[in-house]
Amino acid sequence: MIHHSAERDAGAVDEYLERELGLRVDALEAGREHSHSAGLPRIEVSPAQGKFLQLLAEITGARRVLEIGTLGGYSTSWLARGVGEAGTVISCEFEPLHASVARENLQRAGLSERVEIKLGAAQGSLDSLLSKRVAPFDLIFIDADKRNNVAYLERAVKLSRPGTVLVLDNVVRSGAVLDDPARHGTQEADVRGIQDSLRWLRDDPRVSATALQTVGVNGWDGFALARVL
């Protein structure tokens, strides 16, 4: 576990990097503030993580991106910037308020034409995409309820092609991934979901995966990165 002083230092470093690299985009930051004012939880990716997602889309040449978990559209906006004017982001969101705020934020950022938000339970939205036999996605970002991670990964692979990149967020949770999930009370299903998803990434022959820890303004966490084979 990282000590509180180290967490504060890491947050200060994140803010320094944001300033020095010019990572804050005014329209996106306005959207983030709007999300907070609307009462959405402050659990969106950081500006550095958002730019990472944009660069990942650009580096892979992604034109079709799938996001599971829209929240207020902050990460969605970074992904939309990454796919460019000719690209598309489909984002799945369960909460009507989140979807409404995200649409407003995307409109403000001039990105709404690139994004389609599917409202409803993500598994149902993904099953609908599968039934329609949509074109495969180039990049899939999974950042929703952790207890359903394996279900999302199973569907994500079916919506992929060889070379598709999968990003699974929040796989460390301040070290909770090391614990017996029963220790975490109401979060037990989420911790178990993370552990199960990491084992799934290890054992499924259709993917090659790794995971990295992160520390910064969002505390101690990490993400898994996989390539569909």
CATH, residue 67: 3.40.50.150
| Number of domains comprising the chain | 1
Element at 76 (helix H, strand E): helix 74-83
Phi, psi of 78 (to 5 degrees): -65, -40
Tokens of 202: 């290890």
CA nearest neighbour of 216 among 27, 44, 40:
44
Q: In the prediction, which pLDDT does 110 show?
A: 98
Q: In the prediction, which pLDDT does 6 show?
A: 52
What confidence tens digit (pLDDT) does each residue in 158-172 have?
999 999 999 999 999
CA–CA distance, 22 with 173 (Å, rounded to integer)? 27
Tell me: pLDDT of 151 over 90.
yes
Task: Give the structural domain span for 174.
Answer: 4-228
This prediction has a pTM of 0.95
CA–CA distance, 65 with 58 (Å, rounded to integer)? 11
Residues paired with 117 in a beta bridge: 91
Q: In the prediction, which pLDDT does 23 show?
A: 97
DSSP-derived letter for residue 177 is: G
Q: What is the mean pLDDT of the chain?
A: 96
What confidence tens digit (pLDDT) does each residue in 94-120 have?
999 999 999 999 999 999 999 999 999
Tell me: pLDDT of 1 over 50.
no
Which of 148-152, 167-171, 182-186, 197-201 shows the lowest mean pLDDT across its residues? 182-186
Residue carrying structure tokens 């001039």: 110
Question: pLDDT band at residue 5, thresholds of 50, 70 and 90?
Answer: low
Tell me: pLDDT of 7 over 60.
no
